[in-house]
A and B are shown apart, each in its own frame.
Chain A
């Protein structure tokens, strides 16, 4: 039995301990905001926060999550929108939008850690998240705008 918090709510899981968090969120809890892209931590579409830091939920087995706090795209803003989401909207970032939950969660993690938002840092933090539509230029602009907002 694994006890964990998802977006502040208590949950317990007694299924296959190898099941990745991604599929627990999507198929068991029915929270579909977190996306499946590769299953190998190669694309970042499944990014969520574990105790405030970005992890790849597709490659995080449930067995490792006892006592952990998980935050998904559904839980980053208690009221209204997170500054990163606002910046995403102001810059019209998404094309198809499928990877954007993961992109936003990765960016939230970056902003949370108060890393300096330079181009180099953005490259370093965001290059694990693939966008096949190619919205990188707008993602970069949105992160810079959000960082200014939260500074």
Chain B
């Protein structure tokens, strides 16, 4: 069964399928919840094992499988708590096990902010199935009707009429002899009876995280393991002409060097090639690599220069592109003449720089590979390693550690394939460690984008025509040769669904070629699309001489469902459950203004507020940023208010943390985030020249407000990011009168 993936991944999935099917066979939800229809997993030995996600032992221990990766968003806590809630289990007696990569769990690619969204019902079904069987076992023992039994207090089946009770541990054995109920026979708890869903909870791994015991990919050790650092081709597509490793081999601890095969286009998730230095510890591998003399054939990408490429993209954005949304007749309206406002926006490439760089251990033995790694995408590891080594997917076992951040980088398992290739060549377990320099210079970059926007304003300043063009090397270029246009997934990220009430509106997308690997980074195309649209809305407000909030609300217009957005995605099942509800967008905008005291507070010169709103990953988020700008252009962010409507929320504390973090992530993007290239080589290398927001430049206080909603759950990991940069730049305009149309701020005289 192939199930079309969620909104954000859909287009990329198509791209990948067209490009050779790396994700073929990926199903969104589990093909079956039943354990005995599938391969063995980590909890198959438990006494009662009604579904692939849950099992109960005779001592009452409830085992829950976490099949999604945890990179800090708390999926290892939130999804198991949904199971525990529906099971009426005692959370303190729940043990969470990380799943191996396995199709039986359905989609495991932890990106696109859809872990809770897509598995909320699956987890409830698992908990309800187990509870059903425990209750049935107790009822049978007592010879009463199951409908007379309750599961309160937790972990116990009670027959209130007679006061009899049995613990889940005692019932596990008898329940295991009963048939597993069909879904239609399950009874789900009413929302009012939820114990854990909607209540704040600490991370399952909290204590390990605070004591150094948490095991990340970087912490994996295997007996007989060697360490590898790889000198990658400095230009994408470059090849090794020759190399001299004499000095390398003299470094204490270095064992040997290994030439890596170059990739065959499209590069997808293949290893980049280069020369690997093998040593008996990480440091020696790094030190030995510095001594390598490699003569590179850099190939055609050596002509890539990001500064001239920027001009090319900007020129493209001034020419008609592919129309991705068309309402009314923009050209006819513009021809009438009047007050025209136009603006060019630009955002540079960005790197993910998760604190833990890419790292993997792989062990090749008898034609099979076992990998231990920090991956967002364990089935992708299986696919990629199998393809690169020419073995079967079933012969690749992928253990998933905790991830020291991911942000999309660790969905791409090139580094795991490197370890597998080397282990096969060397006949022993290999740990490939990327240095920070490797990470910055050889990322799957968030793409650069140039956008041109133009509007015609009526006498009240409202746009009667609105044209927008965006140009960016697309993610599809990673999966196909010569892909130069964005796919529907990228367009749907804030471009073909601009939520404004516009009689004449045209959105276009122009072509651009990639010269580095392009990938998705936390909130993806929403970053540049929200930046341009929300900045432009603010520019129009000022052009019209109106308050930015009042103007933004008038652009949004009255509450309604956005018909065009659903129509554009008819094949997407989420369009049915998640219509684009302008009323909810309006509500978060009004609420954030109220929380931030919009219009009620006095701002001295050099200080001010900015607002932006954006829907992404099916969640509605509005943000007000407050700034203080000194005469020297130093920007401080004393306060951020952000309101989100993500439908049903499982763990409000994690959600708050995600939005606090999104404000910091947004600060990094806006202030200093910029990757550039000269002669095809990336100019940045580490945290001194690719700067990330630190304590003293991050927002001092971020207030997060969660709209109470019983709508289906939507995304939380990414949607906090897109509105931040435009809200910040709108605030800077309010404070200084200076408009920022190009990120980062450091390019605009601010620091």
Contacts and interface: CB of A to CB of B under 8 A. Distances in A.
Contact of B282 (A36, A74, A85): A36
B726 interface: no
A122 B287 CA distance: 35
A74 B211 CA distance: 6
Query: Is the contact region of chain A dominated by helix, strand, or loop, or is it mixed?
Result: loop
A95 B211 contact: no
Q: Which of A38, A92, A98 has the most CB of B within 10 A?
A: A98
Interface string A100-118: 1100100000000000000
A133 B211 contact: no
Contacts of B211: 33, 73-74, 81, 85
B355 A98 contact: yes
A35 B202 contact: no
A53 interface: no
Contacts of A37: 355-357, 436
Contacts of B402: 96-97
A47 to B, nearest CB: 12
A123 B355 contact: no
Interface in B266-310: 281-284, 286-287
Q: Which of B215, B252, B404 has the most CB of A within 10 A?
A: B404
Interface in B236-271: 252-253
Interface string B321-362: 000000000000000000000000000000001111100000
A30 B281 CA distance: 11
The bracket for how many chain A residues form the interface is: 35 or more
A148 to B, nearest CB: 18
Contacts of A128: 694
Nearest to A124: B696
A100 B209 CA distance: 7
A39 B403 CA distance: 19
Contact of A136 (B71, B405, B407, B664): B664
A126 interface: yes
Given A32-B218, A96-B404, A123-B696, A132 B688 contact: no
A28 B283 CA distance: 11
Interface string A40-84: 101101000000000000000000000000001110000001000
Contacts of A131: 355, 664
Contact of A85 (B210, B215, B253, B700): B210
Nearest to B689: A42
Contacts of B205: 97
B227 interface: yes
Given A94-B203, A96-B402, A136-B664, A89 B210 contact: yes
Given A27-B227, A27-B282, A139-B695, A132 B657 contact: no
B642 to A, nearest CB: 12
Given A98-B355, A134-B662, A135-B661, A88 B693 contact: no
Contacts of A96: 70-72, 354-356, 402-406
Q: Which of B219, B221, B658, B697 has the most CB of A within 10 A?
A: B219
A33 B287 CA distance: 23
Given A92-B202, A98-B216, A26 B695 contact: no
Interface string A12-42: 0001101110010011101011111111101
A35 B356 contact: yes
A43 B73 contact: no
Nearest to B698: A136
Given A38-B686, A42-B688, A134 B660 contact: yes
A147 interface: no
B207 interface: yes
B284 A16 contact: yes
B702 interface: yes
Contacts of A138: 657, 660
B367 to A, nearest CB: 29
A127 B695 contact: yes
Contact of A36 (B210, B213, B218, B686): B218
B698 A134 contact: yes
A43 B435 CA distance: 13
A30 to B, nearest CB: 7
Nearest to A72: B212
Contact of A35 (B404, B406, B664): B404
Contact of A23 (B202, B213, B281): B281
B355 A15 contact: no
A59 B74 CA distance: 32
A101 to B, nearest CB: 5
B177 interface: no
B72 A38 contact: no
B355 A35 contact: yes
Contacts of A137: 660, 698-702
B355 A45 contact: yes
B641 to A, nearest CB: 13
A32 B688 CA distance: 25
B199 to A, nearest CB: 13
Contacts of A26: 282
A40 B661 contact: no
A130 interface: yes
Contacts of B688: 40, 42
A37 B436 CA distance: 7
Nearest to B353: A132
A95 B72 contact: yes
Interface string B648-666: 0000010001101111110
Contacts of B658: 95
Contacts of A99: 355, 404
Contacts of A123: 695-696
Given A85-B211, A97-B72, A130-B694, A42 B282 contact: no
B212 A132 contact: no
Contacts of B603: none
Contact of B206 (A27, A38, A89, A135): A89
A37 B359 CA distance: 12
B207 A89 contact: yes
Interface string B680-708: 00000011100011111111111000000
Contacts of B212: 32-34, 72-74, 101
B24 interface: no
A95 B657 contact: yes
A92 B692 contact: no
A23 B356 contact: no
A134 B687 contact: no
B214 interface: yes
A137 B659 CA distance: 11
Given A27-B281, A96-B71, A99-B355, A15 B660 contact: no
A16 to B, nearest CB: 5
A38 B436 contact: yes
B207 A27 contact: no
Nearest to B218: A36
Interface in B89-143: none
Contacts of A16: 252-253, 283-284, 287
Nearest to B251: A16
Contacts of B405: 96, 98, 132-133
23 contacts: A15-B252, A15-B253, A18-B287, A32-B219, A35-B356, A37-B356, A43-B355, A43-B436, A43-B687, A45-B355, A96-B70, A97-B209, A98-B404, A99-B355, A101-B212, A130-B692, A132-B407, A132-B665, A133-B355, A134-B661, A134-B693, A135-B657, A137-B702
Given A34-B212, A131-B664, 7 more contacts: A30-B221, A85-B211, A95-B657, A100-B210, A127-B696, A131-B355, A133-B661
Interface of A: 15-16, 18-20, 23, 26-28, 30, 32-40, 42-43, 45, 72-74, 81, 85, 88-89, 92-101, 104, 119, 122-124, 126-140
